Amino acid sequence: MYTVQFKQHRELWQQLLDTGDARIVFVSKTDWFLGSHCDAAELAAADTFHGKNWLGKSLMKLRQELQVLVQ
């Protein structure tokens, strides 16, 4: 889903690669599926969080695919 956007917009590709191996979390007080149900301060202090974080997990998976392409 995101692959096309990232391939068309090289600056997005580079921004995602620049995150290195950092955990990517979409913080949302209202969306438990796409994000995590906490604020940024809670997230920084926690090893785990509530919510599915589907968006963050998808971006981390895409980042892995892009890292393989640039090697």
pTM of the model: 0.78
Half-sphere exposure (Cβ direction) of 1: Cα atoms closer than 13 Å: 5
CA 3 to chain centre: 13
pLDDT at 21: 94
Instruction: Encode pLDDT of 9-62 as tens digits.
Output: 888 889 999 999 998 888 887 887 887 777 667 766 666 677 788 999 999 999
Residue 36's DSSP bridge partners are 27
Report pLDDT for 41: 72
Beta carbons within 10 angstroms of residue 46's beta carbon: 11
Q: How many domains does the chain have?
A: 1
Closest alpha carbon to 21 in 69, 68, 64: 64
Domain that holds residue 24: 3-70
